[in-house]
């Protein structure tokens, strides 16, 4: 068994990437089409040494302030993703810290991101979050509101539209998430075919990739209980 955080993380990354490759092969795609974001939000700062040693390029945090603090202490060269929801009063800090914003759930928030990006001369990638499952209390645009949001996103000058994002309902059966992912893919294919899909986490990423995901966000599967690191639960 690997006895260092970097060795353990490298082994887990290899297995996750194998699963991504298998899912891509079954769907007639290439594994290189899928960006793997390692969600580090529940790990102590020491995780970033292991991440850098394992050759990871993309990391995700769910809270703006934590991401700002952790980026300042992490190795250079990482691409930072905000994978949680974004409050309007945190937009300036988020735009100044993160390269990719996954939780843009309203036109108002999108336009605020654009204004701040212009002021800071930043060019973040943004994903429009869609509440495909219609779960009460879950963040995201409704499918009916998506066309107007896409029109607003196409008018951006500084922020850039990366694609659509969703979260499937929590379940112990990954196959149960397939309809959510398939619905978002169909929306993307119909309304914004040249963009990406951010969907899939630790328990359902293989199904998400089969359904067309171009970006998976994986935390617990990769960083939980690494040797010499005390970790809380991650997605």
Tell me which residue of 94, 156, 160, 158 sits closest to 121, measured CA to CA.
Answer: 158
Evaluate if residue 44 carries a pLDDT over 90. no
Tell me which residue of 136, 141, 137, 131 sits closest to 105, measured CA to CA.
Answer: 141
Tokens 């409050």 — which residue?
87
Locate 68 and state its tokens: 């700002």
In terms of pTM, does the model score above 0.85?
yes
In this structure, whether the domain defined by 5-223 belongs to CATH 3.20.20.10 is answered with: yes
pLDDT-derived band at 50 (thresholds 50, 70, 90) equals confident
Locate 117 and state its tokens: 């990006």
Tell me whether strands 35-39 and 215-218 are parallel, antiparallel or unpaired: parallel
Could you report the per-residue pLDDT of 56-103, keeping only the tens digit for each? 999 999 999 999 999 988 989 999 999 999 999 999 999 999 999 999
| DSSP-derived 3-state class of residue 159 | coil
């Amino acid at each position: 068994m690997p006895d260092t955080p970097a060795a353990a993380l490298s082994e887990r990354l290899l297995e996750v990437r194998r699963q991504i490759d298998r899912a891509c092969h079954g769907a007639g795609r290439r594994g290189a089409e899928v960006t793997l974001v390692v969600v580090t939000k529940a790990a102590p700062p020491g995780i970033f040494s292991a991440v850098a040693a394992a050759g990871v390029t993309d990391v995700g945090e769910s809270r703006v302030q934590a991401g700002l603090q952790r980026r300042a202490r992490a190795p250079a060269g990482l691409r930072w993703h905000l994978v949680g929801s974004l409050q309007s009063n945190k937009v300036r800090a988020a735009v100044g810290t993160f390269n990719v914003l996954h939780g843009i759930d309203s036109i108002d928030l999108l336009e605020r991101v654009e204004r701040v990006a212009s002021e800071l001369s930043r060019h973040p990638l943004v994903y429009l979050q869609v509440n495909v499952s219609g779960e009460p209390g879950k963040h995201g645009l409704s499918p009916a509101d998506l066309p107007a949001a896409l029109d607003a996103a196409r008018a951006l000058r500084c922020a850039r539209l990366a694609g659509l994002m969703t979260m499937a309902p929590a379940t112990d059966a990954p196959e149960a998430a397939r309809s959510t992912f398939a619905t978002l893919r169909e929306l993307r294919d119909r309304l914004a075919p040249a963009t990406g899909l951010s969907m899939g986490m630790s328990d359902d990423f293989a199904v998400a990739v089969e359904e067309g995901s171009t970006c998976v966000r994986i935390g617990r599967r990769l960083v939980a209980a690494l040797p010499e690191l005390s970790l809380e639960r991650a997605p």
